[in-house]
Amino acid sequence: MANKSSVFDMIGPIMIGPSSSHTAGVVRIARAAIRVLGGIPDEAEITFYNSFARTYEGHGSDRAIFGGLMDFKTDDERIKNALEIAKEKGLKYKFKSIGNSSVHHPNTIKLNLKKGERTVEVEGESLGGGVINIAEVDGFVANFSAQMHTLIIKAQDISGAIAFISSVIAQEKANIATMSVSRKGKNDLACHVIEMDSGINKITTQYLQSLPWIKELIYIPDIDL
Amino acid sequence: MCFLFESFKGWKKYCEEKNQSLPETVIQYEIEQKNSSRELIYSGLLQAYGVMKDAVITGLKEDMTSRSGMINNGAKKVFNHPLSVLSPEFQKLISRALSAKEVNSCMGRVVAAPTAGASGILPGTMVTLQEIHQLSDEKIVEGLLVGAGIALIIEEKASLAGAVGGCQAETGSAAAMAAGAIVYCLGGTIDQVFNAVAITIQCMLGLVCDPVAGLVEVPCVVRNASAAAIAFSSAQIALANVSAVIPVDECVEAMGEIGASMESRYKETAMGGLAATLTGQEISKKVLIQDIEILPDETLPD
């Protein structure tokens, strides 16, 4: 193990039971997803895959998802009643269970969220100990942990885009920890997912957003803050 | 350079050479490795202990019925039962360990120590120890630091995860942390603290993780109570200098070896042991969602 554990991994984290992968991890997937959406959704379709498909009720993962969708933190005691709270708020929802999907990690959740006219699709995996991987965003490969500060940029697939974006981030003195780019087809849209050790200023995201070849920019600061 | 928690032998040597107490070495580790400060460590652990105390109270006060129904206010029943089999203190210990763990099963707030599945053991033991011996919260925090050091070594040499090492890795490690903390808080020497850890591991070795329906309920909740009792039993033995014979580092090695050779159906997969019994399977059928779309087996694309 490269990183030594903390005292607070041994006595902690403080969390809502019953298990870190079924509650804390699930809450964090939803917290990441609403940041991709840009707010608390009006409608949500939640698909539980594989191991989650049969156990999500017993483990309370359905409540954990709604806790996260309403931006509750992983140790918020309201998570237990999150489904009722969501119903009161008029949030429309639907659950789906899919088993035997070999292309998905055992503990995968897909969220199709709608707020006003905006819709997003986010696929997250709960890896254990509350650690997550956001595998896909709107069909693009994403693979970010949401433990750092994340930028998701959908841009025209043009040459020099990666160098340009990374140099703008370098001006901010933000260190890039991981960066991945995926595209749906040649000369189509490319999706840049960049994880940074520190955050960046609003003016920088606004500048990037103003460029004509950048179609969409989503900035997700540390989701646990 | 701080101590890196690679062995109990090394920990003792480090304490003696630097003339530092057990909790002090853990503080130095956290400051150096995690850029923390003494104040942050103390306030964080006081907060964690506060959550543990709250969980003990919540489980004895509020309704603790799990979604599956398998957990149904057991802690309260134990706490209020008119017959104490040993002493009222023992009855309280058992009910408190049950209580905090029931809070975990029922989606309440707990401290994973070291894991959520073992989250009743330190609350049950520490709250009861504090009450009986009139200890300060600061003293309990020192005990928790010792427990954290113990867990760091077990994590390094064996595992703390049920999916890797079975139940011994979760409740066994928590009981070892508690036993060490108890002996430390009662003024035991380093040898006595480590001996308590060794004895506890010897008592918990081999426990498999076989949760009914895959839920963190049966047998997890009652195992938190028995682990709390074993922590006190080991502390009582260790304080009297009754040797574990097998040194603590070797006990941890044995735990790792047993965990590694355990079949996967005994490691949180709900495929063996209690989960595979007739009743276990029946409960599983009732509790698990049946309305599920099963994809056909993947066929390779042409």
Cβ neighbours for A97, distance < 8 A, ≥ 6 positions apart: A47, A48, A53, A54, A56, B289, B291, B292, B293
Say if residue A126 is in the same domain as residue A153. Answer: no
Is residue A20 domain-shared with residue A123, that is, in the same domain?
Answer: yes
3-state secondary structure B24-62: HHHHHHHHHHHCCCHHHHHHHHHHHHHHHHHHHHHHHHC
Nearest CA in chain B to A23: B107
Within-domain flag for B251: yes
- Residue A108, in any domain of the structure: yes
pLDDT of B298: 58
pLDDT average, residue stretch B195-208? 98
- Residue A141's nearest CA partner among A208, A214, A190 is A190
* For residue A211, pLDDT beyond 90: yes
Q: Kindly identify which residue of chain B lies nearest to residue A129, measuring between CA atoms.
A: B115
How far is residue A28's CA from residue A69's CA, in Å, rounded to a whole number? Answer: 9
Assigned domain for A48 exists = yes
Q: B151 and chain A: CB distance < 8 Å anywhere?
A: yes
Return phi, psi of residue A91, to 5°.
-70, 125
Three-class SS state of A87: helix
Give yes or no: residues A33 and A131 share one domain.
Answer: yes
**Which residues 251-280 of B are in CB contact (within 8 Å) with A?**
none
**Other CB atoms within 10 Å distance of the CB of residue A108:** 24
Q: How many CB atoms lie within 10 A of CB A198?
A: 13
Q: What are the DSSP E strand ranges found in A105-202?
A: 108-115, 118-128, 131-137, 140-144, 149-156, 176-183, 189-196
A38 Rama sector, left if φ>0, alpha if ψ -120 to 50, beta otherwise: left
> Which candidate, B211, B217, B208, B229, places its Cα nearest to that of B103?
B217
Length of chain A: 225
Residues A123 and A167 in one domain: no
pLDDT at B300 over 80: no
Quote the number of domains for chain A: 2
Residues A64 and A159 both lie in one domain = no
Write down the pLDDT at residue A1.
37
pLDDT for the residue numbered B299:
54
Q: Could you say which of A115, A138, A161 is where a domain stops?
A: A138
| Average pLDDT for B18-42 | 96
Question: Cis peptide leading into A18, omega within 30 of 0?
Answer: yes
CATH of the domain at A197: 3.30.70.260
Of B115, B122, B288, the CB nearest to A55: B288
Nearest chain B residue to A78 by CA distance is B108
B218/A contact by beta carbon, under 8 A: no
A128 and A153 share a domain? Answer: no
Chain-centroid distance of CA A151 in Å reads 11
Most A-contacting residue of B287, B289, B294 (CB-CB within 10 A), to test interface: B289
- A129 with A94, same domain: the answer is yes
ipTM confidence? 0.95
Q: What is the pLDDT of residue A184?
A: 79
CB B67 within 8 A of CB A57: yes
Confirm whether A10 is domain-assigned: no
* Containing structural domain, residue B26: 8-286
Instruction: Specify the pLDDT at position A124.
Output: 97
Residue-number span of the structural domain to which A178 is assigned: 148-225
Torsions phi, psi of B146, nearest 5?
A: -60, -45
CA B198 from centre of chain:
15
Nearby residues of A172 by Cβ (< 8 Å), 6 or more positions away: A200, A201, A204
Provide the mean pLDDT of chain A: 93
How close, in Å, is residue B204 to chain A by CA atoms?
19
* pLDDT more than 90, % of chain B: 92
- Strand ranges across the sheet with A108-115: A140-144, A131-137, A118-128, A108-115, A43-49, A92-99, B293-294
> Inter-chain contact A12–B155, Cβ cutoff 8 Å?
no
Q: Do A82 and A72 form a contact (C-beta atoms < 8 A)?
A: yes
Confidence tier at B289 by pLDDT (50, 70, 90): confident
Picking from A99, A117, A138, the residue at the C-terminal end of a domain is A138
User: Tell me: the pLDDT tens digits for A29-79?
Assistant: 999 999 999 999 999 999 999 989 988 988 999 999 999 999 999 999 999
**Structural domain count, chain B:** 1
Q: Is residue B129 part of a domain?
A: yes
- What is the distance between the alpha carbons of residues B102 and B217, in angstroms, rounded to a whole number? 8
Classify residue B262: in a domain, yes or no: yes
Whose tokens are 């907060």? That residue is: B47
Question: How close does chain A come to B201, measured CA to CA in Å?
Answer: 17
Count the neighbouring beta carbons within 10 Å of the beta carbon of residue B14: 18
In a domain, A143, yes or no: no
Name the domain boundary from A76, A106, A138.
A138
The span from the CA of B6 to the CA of B156, in Å, is: 6
pLDDT in tens, B169-199: 999 999 999 999 999 999 999 999 999 999 9
Residue A5, domain member (yes or no): no
Distance CA B6, CA B3 (A): 8
Label residue A128 by pLDDT band (50, 70, 90). Answer: confident
Helices (H) and strands (E) in chain B, counts: 14, 2
Q: Among residues of chain A, what percentage have pLDDT more than 90?
A: 83
Please answer yes or no on whether A60 and B67 come within 8 Å at the CB atom.
Answer: yes
B299 part of a folded domain: no
Query: Which of A4, A5, A15 comes nearest B116 by C-beta?
Result: A15
Cα distance between residue B68 and residue B65, in whole Å: 8
User: Looking at the domain assignment, is residue B166 inside a domain?
Assistant: yes
The reported pLDDT for the residue numbered B288 is 87
Decide if A104 contacts A63 (C-beta within 8 A).
Answer: no
Same domain for A134 and A58 = yes
**Do residues A40 and A109 share a domain?**
yes
Instruction: Flag if A55 and B215 touch (Cβ within 8 Å).
Output: yes
As a whole-number percent, the residues of chain A with pLDDT over 70 amount to 99
Q: How far apart are CA A75 and CA B111, in angstroms?
A: 10
Q: Give the integer Cα–Cα distance in Å for A29 and A146.
A: 9
Q: Are residues A69 and A109 in the same domain?
A: yes
Q: What is the mean pLDDT of residues A179-184?
A: 90
Question: Which of B48, B144, B295 faces A14 most closely, judged by CB atoms?
Answer: B48
CA B175 to chain centre: 5
Q: What is the CATH number of the domain that holds A51?
A: 3.30.1330.90
Tell me what pLDDT residue A2 has.
47
Q: What is the bridge-based pairing of β-strands A43-49 and A92-99?
A: parallel
Residues A32 and A123 both lie in one domain: yes
Q: φ, ψ for residue B19 (rounded to 5)? A: 55, 45
CB contact under 8 A, B294 and A100: yes
A35 lies in the same domain as A128 = yes
Output the domain CATH number for residue B50: 1.10.4100
